[in-house]
Amino acid sequence: MTPVLEARGLRKTFGGVQAVRGVDIDVAKGEVVGLFGPNGAGKSTLFDLVAGAIAPDAGAVHLDGRDVTRLAAWRRARLGIGRTFQITRPFRDLTAIENVLAAVPRVGAPGRHDADAARATLAKVGLGDRADDISGRLTLGMLKRLEVARVLALQPTLLLLDEPLAGLTGREAAEILDLIVVLKSEISIVLVEHNVRQSLPVCDRALVLDAGEVIAVGLPDEIRVDPRVLKAYLGEEGRPRC
């Protein structure tokens, strides 16, 4: 069964900094992969490389078996890669529903992409009553959710979520995690999060990045007690925390 995402040997250097150093990542259909690591580990850069926002210095990205390494970001979006941003990027002068309608659905996507479908998507993330509000006036928590609704309108096969829980209240975060669980039967998800405790439970597998390299890969329970991971986060050895 071809994995939804297969990335090999991704490498990216900015000036003197090696942000991503030979990273491999696989995501199977219906899987949620957690991507963790300390600040500056290269997680957002990895997302940029997979989504096509920046070109890798080396390596290849395959989506459903198709080589997309040379394709521009917008083409990859049309093929089914959706991504959210660490710092939200709403179209401030457009209403929430217009934000959702701006998305161009994946080529061959079955669902409709009209105003009704957009409202339904907004309702799914709890913004149903905000559809006609100018997005520039929404709170951070709402903007985070709008970002998710917007990318769902793409009807993606692969979803890259960059810190979707940051800035959300406990309850809002729980709702998003519930949504992820519901989505994963149709969409494969890579999830970057700092809130490891809350997000690890929804992950089927986890990958830990440090200084641009993968230092651990495996099941959540394995990662939780992996000494290299603990050292990367905490700087000390062999002290399981949970």
Partner 1 sequence: MVATRRTDGVVVLASIAVAAVVAALPQLGASSYSQILVYYAAYYLALGQSWNLMSGMTGYVSFAHGALAGIGAYAAVIALNAGWPMAPALLAGPAVALLASFVIGATSLRLRGVAFTFATLFFQELALLVLRKMPISGGPGGLALQDIVPIWLPQLLMIVLACGATIVMVALRGSRTGIRLLAIKGDETAALSLGIGAAKMKVALFCVSAAIAGGAGAIHGLFTASLYPDVVFNVDVSLIALAVPMIGGVATAMGPVVGAVLYVCIGEAFAIFAPSLHVVAVGALLLLVILFMPTGLAPFIAQRLCRQSPRATNAVEGRTP
| Contact between 239 and partner 1 per CB under 8 A | no
CA–CA distance, 150 with 97 (Å, rounded to integer):
9
CA–CA distance, 151 with 159 (Å, rounded to integer):
8
Q: Which stretch binds partner 1 (CB under 8 A): 14-22, 32-40, 146-154, 177-185?
A: 146-154
CB 153, min distance to partner 1, A: 8
Radius of gyration, alpha carbons of the chain = 18
CB 14, min distance to partner 1, A: 17
CA–CA distance, 153 with 100 (Å, rounded to integer):
6
CB 83, min distance to partner 1, A: 6
Q: Which stretch binds partner 1 (CB under 8 A): 4-12, 86-94, 168-176, 228-236?
A: 86-94
| Contact between 64 and partner 1 per CB under 8 A | no
- Tokens 């979520």 correspond to 161
User: Which CB, 5 or 200, lies closer to partner 1?
Assistant: 5
Phi, psi (deg, nearest 5) at residue 221: -65, -35
**Strand runs labelled E in the chain:** 5-14, 17-27, 32-36, 58-63, 66-67, 81-83, 158-162, 188-192, 205-210, 213-218
Q: Cα angle at 160 between 106 and 10, to 5 degrees? A: 105
The token duo for 65 is: 């078996």
| Contact between 103 and partner 1 per CB under 8 A | yes
Name which of residues 209 to 238 contact partner 1 (CB under 8 A).
none
Q: Which stretch binds partner 1 (CB under 8 A): 27-35, 57-65, 95-103, 196-204?
A: 95-103
Among 9, 24, 55, 74, binds partner 1 (CB under 8 A): 74
The two most distant CA atoms of the chain are separated, in Å, by 54
Among 17, 55, 104, 219, binds partner 1 (CB under 8 A): 104
| Contact between 140 and partner 1 per CB under 8 A | no
Provide the binding-site residues for partner 1, judged by CB under 8 A: 51, 53, 72-75, 77-78, 82-83, 85, 89-95, 98-99, 101-106, 115, 132-134, 136-137, 150-151, 153-154
